[in-house]
């Protein structure tokens, strides 16, 4: 009876939600029916706030303010429906945002014919990026390293709350591009290389932003925007916004699942890939936007371009002979809103001409405008166009800061710990060196109070540097600092130069151990392109020279992508990967070094050992061939620095008693299979372990991957404690996308593998599809 009651309640809630959505869509359609063509097209236009401002932006005496004449021209005369960005990509106080967006909404709802509010959007990637004083978490790659999706949901909740406190209802996140190429400058913005891991985290982050029931009208929630659909992260060159060549079945197998998970989570909007796939720009692809995203994947929300990408079809891609032809191609492909971001007059005028000429159907305009107005209704902007800071008392609350710290501490990954050097004993004389020791930029990355992250010193008052955190835990009297290598103050990220280099070597000789803080400076998007994946030469030289002193060396990495460290990794004593751990990452790292926190992070990607060896863990068997007899040696190896899913602890774990409740199922069965294993903490301290389930298709009609992650669970164990971890899966989890682009399950033999990483397998069980 109890179960029946809950089923009835759930069904009633679902029906209410469906009726509400239907009612909103109908209301939006009725409003759009009252619009002129110009008003509909204006709703499809999104512009940057930079072009609506006047005054000097020179903090702390900034005179920047809205130019109301420019605002009226855009919103009243051209009916512009959306505005984005922070002026000069600089964070502003919540109060500043409140005032400016209130002015925008006053014009939109008071001086336009239909009184339609403006939809404001920001890139709030790892917290409320553009709100001064906001709580910033680790970047998505650092969240993925926790292997605990609860952190993603919590970040989404806090980011939504603090974004709404700034009067902004729309967030251009989560980033769901698959992080399969460590050269790519946006790798840190996603959840790593695995489709399943990315799907689980993406789903939870959407729920954090939008709420469990996706009621984005709730003033503590925002409309999320999954991006960048599709295949953006796999350019051949590894450089941002360059071409990708990806077979359709590969797109569907690996790149689509995280976006499908976000759609299943109820995400309201999507941003498109700025690049091209197979010589077809995504912004002009009816196949990818309408056929795949809308019809096959079931996305019903609003589709927005990325920055200037319709014009790029003409200016950069050369697939349209004019801006007008570019607009035609993109809108007909299924784009609802153009992130123009400047010349709205051109966009609105040309699109009107295209409709009047019959080149773009009026039905396409009506559809786009209806989706946009529907989103504004769902956000409750018509009734409550503004949300103000004084109604958000928990902004940057202690509990929010603690959540960000916990996420950082849960994700930092111990990669090497020879002879149990870590945690460090008290009383040691420590030298701290390296460019990241005093760089807040290096801990946070891009999208940190500015686009490139270079303004963090201006806003990140409660962000310790690694040096400050290490001194706090080990005592200033025990910690010496000599940089050896430093960054300049330039916005560009690759600015290493020698800074007291010889003095650092001399200081190392007097220390008991050396903590080298290495990695990357902050960057974002195209400015983060690189030529060489090896760690910077000067940083490498610093490591090599300090190693000559014979002292114990701990390398602490803070980096947006895994820079190759094989020139010294075998010689140092310990390596800790912090990724980009956010405002509280330095404190978390120092607590791990001191033993206050037992590290439990696991790599969400394969850490490469060489720049020419960049395949993910789910590669094909030919990537690691064994030596064969005969005249020719076709031996090949898969040789990562560290495998996917790897991470050490200060304690040890023992796996035993693997069980599976079914050894086979007939093709077509929807029964669940259960596989379980016992995990025991055999060490002397409490610790967390990530138990991972993989499957291996032994033979298939399409060359199978060596293995694929299917499930995972992070558990906490006291010393001597044993816990049974149980996973459930169905035959669909063993499926793949064939060359006809259909997901299929084939009869045959599989191997199920449970372990502590993709390489550290603790138990296996055979399984057969009959």
| Cα 29 from Cα 368, distance rounded (Å) | 10
CA 613, 533, 140, 100 dihedral sign is negative
| Cα 197 from Cα 146, distance rounded (Å) | 11
Q: How many CA atoms lie within 13 A of 45 on its CB side?
A: 27
- Regarding beta strands 736-737 and 743-744, do their DSSP bridges make them parallel or antiparallel, or are they unpaired? antiparallel
| Cα 409 from Cα 138, distance rounded (Å) | 10
Active site includes 391? no
SS3 for 334? coil
| Cα 678 from Cα 664, distance rounded (Å) | 22
Closest among 653, 759, 747 to 700, alpha carbons compared? 747
| Cα 145 from Cα 551, distance rounded (Å) | 30
Does an H or E element contain 535, and which? none
DSSP state, residue 295: I
**Exposed, middle or buried, 633 (CB in 10 Å: 0-12/13-18/19+)?**
exposed
- Regarding beta strands 276-277 and 280-281, do their DSSP bridges make them parallel or antiparallel, or are they unpaired? antiparallel
Give the E-state strand segments of 44-112 in sequence order.
45-48, 53-54, 65-66, 82-84
Closest among 751, 659, 658, 768 to 705, alpha carbons compared? 751
The encoded tokens of residue 162 equal 């603090």
The encoded tokens of residue 288 equal 């990818």
Residue 530: is the preceding peptide bond cis (ω within 30°)?
no
The encoded tokens of residue 749 equal 């033999």
| Cα 214 from Cα 378, distance rounded (Å) | 10
Beta bridge partners of 717: 687
SS3 for 240? coil
Angle formed at CA 76 by CA 74 and CA 82, multiple of 5 degrees? 55
Contact (CB, 8 A) for 573 and 403? no
| Cα 256 from Cα 263, distance rounded (Å) | 11
How far from 129 is each of 55, 158, 162, 172, 179, CA to CA, in Å? 23, 12, 10, 11, 22
The encoded tokens of residue 114 equal 């239909």
DSSP state, residue 551: -
User: Hey, what's the torsion of the CAs at 10, 11, 14, 16, to 10 degrees?
Assistant: -110
Count of residues making up the chain: 770
Beta bridge partners of 337: 304
How far from 510 is each of 91, 166, 426, 431, 454, CA to CA, in Å? 43, 51, 17, 9, 34
Identified catalytic residue from 306, 410, 697, 705: 306
Strands of the sheet containing 413-417, edge to edge, are 413-417, 574-577, 552-558, 513-519, 430-433, 479-481
- Regarding beta strands 119-122 and 302-304, do their DSSP bridges make them parallel or antiparallel, or are they unpaired? unpaired
Residues noted as catalytic: 306
């Amino acid at each position: 009876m109890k179960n029946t009651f809950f089923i009835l309640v759930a069904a009633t809630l679902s029906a209410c939600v469906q009726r509400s959505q239907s009612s909103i869509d109908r209301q939006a359609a009725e409003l759009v029916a009252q619009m002129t063509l110009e008003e509909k097209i204006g709703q499809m236009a999104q512009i940057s706030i930079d072009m609506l401002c006047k005054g000097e932006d020179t903090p702390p005496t900034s005179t920047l303010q809205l130019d109301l004449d420019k605002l009226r021209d855009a919103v009243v005369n051209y009916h512009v429906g959306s505005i984005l960005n922070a002026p000069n990509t600089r964070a502003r106080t919540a109060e500043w945002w409140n005032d400016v967006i209130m002015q925008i909404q006053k014009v939109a709802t008071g001086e336009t014919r239909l009184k339609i509010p403006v939809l404001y959007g920001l890139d709030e990637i790892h917290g409320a990026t553009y709100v001064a004083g906001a709580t910033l978490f680790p970047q998505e790659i650092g969240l993925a390293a926790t292997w605990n999706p609860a952190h993603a949901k919590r970040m989404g909740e806090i980011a939504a709350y603090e974004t709404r406190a700034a009067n902004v209802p729309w967030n251009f996140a989560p980033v769901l591009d698959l992080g399969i190429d460590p050269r790519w400058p946006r790798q840190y913005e996603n959840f790593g290389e695995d489709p399943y891991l990315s799907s689980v985290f993406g789903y939870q982050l959407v729920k954090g932003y939008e709420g469990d029931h996706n009621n984005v009208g709730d003033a503590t929630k925002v409309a999320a925007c999954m991006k960048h659909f599709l295949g953006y992260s796999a350019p051949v060159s590894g450089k941002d916004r360059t071409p990708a060549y990806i077979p359709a079945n590969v797109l569907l197998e690996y790149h689509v699942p995280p976006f499908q998970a976000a759609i299943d989570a109820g995400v309201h909007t999507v941003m498109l890939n700025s690049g091209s796939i197979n010589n077809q720009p995504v912004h002009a692809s009816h196949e990818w936007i309408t056929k795949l995203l809308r019809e096959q994947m079931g996305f019903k929300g609003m589709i927005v371009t990325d920055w200037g990408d319709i014009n790029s079809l003409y200016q950069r891609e050369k697939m349209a002979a004019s801006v007008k032809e570019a607009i035609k191609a993109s809108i007909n492909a299924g784009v609802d809103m153009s992130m123009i971001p400047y010349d709205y007059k051109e966009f609105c005028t040309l699109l009107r001409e295209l409709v009047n000429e019959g080149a773009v159907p009026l039905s396409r305009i009506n559809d786009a405008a209806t989706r946009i107005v529907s989103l504004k209704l769902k956000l409750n902007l018509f009734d409550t166009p503004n949300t103000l800071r004084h109604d958000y008392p928990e902004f940057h609350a202690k509990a929010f800061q603690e959540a960000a710290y916990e996420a950082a501490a849960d994700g930092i990954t111990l990669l090497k710990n020879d002879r149990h050097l870590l945690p460090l004993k008290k009383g040691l004389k420590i030298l701290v060196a390296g460019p990241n020791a005093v760089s807040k930029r290096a801990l946070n990355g891009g999208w940190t109070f500015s686009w490139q992250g270079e303004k963090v010193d201006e806003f990140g008052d409660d962000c310790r540097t690694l040096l400050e955190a290490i001194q706090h835990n080990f005592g200033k009297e025990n910690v010496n600092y000599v940089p050896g290598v430093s960054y300049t103050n330039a916005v560009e990220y690759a600015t290493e130069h020698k800074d007291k280099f010889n003095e650092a070597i001399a200081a190392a000789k007097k220390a008991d151990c050396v903590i080298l803080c290495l990695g990357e400076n902050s960057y974002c998007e195209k400015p983060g392109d690189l030529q060489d994946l090896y760690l910077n030469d000067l940083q490498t030289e610093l490591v090599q020279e300090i190693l000559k002193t014979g002292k114990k060396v701990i390398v602490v990495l803070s980096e947006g992508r895994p820079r190759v460290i094989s020139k010294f990794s075998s010689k140092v004593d310990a390596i800790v990967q912090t990724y980009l751990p956010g405002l509280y990452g330095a404190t978390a790292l120092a607590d791990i070094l001191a033993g206050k926190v037992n590290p439990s992070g696991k790599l969400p990607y394969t850490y490469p050992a060489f720049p020419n060896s960049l395949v993910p863990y789910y590669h094909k068997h030919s990537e690691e061939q064994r030596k064969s007899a005969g005249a020719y040696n076709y031996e090949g190896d898969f040789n990562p620095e560290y495998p996917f899913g790897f991470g050490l602890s200060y304690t040890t774990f023992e796996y035993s008693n693997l069980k599976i409740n079914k050894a086979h199922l007939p093709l077509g069965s929807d029964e669940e299979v259960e596989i379980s294993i016992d995990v025991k903490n055999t060490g002397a301290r409490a610790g967390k372990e990530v138990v991972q389930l993989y499957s291996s298709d032994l033979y298939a009609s399409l060359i199978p991957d060596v293995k694929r992650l299917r499930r995972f669970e992070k558990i906490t164990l006291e010393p001597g404690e044993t816990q049974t971890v149980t996973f459930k899966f169905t035959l669909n989890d063993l499926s793949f996308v064939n060359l006809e682009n259909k997901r299929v399950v084939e009869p045959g033999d599989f191997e199920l593998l449970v372990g502590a990483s993709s390489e550290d397998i603790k138990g296996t069980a055979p399984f057969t599809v009959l």
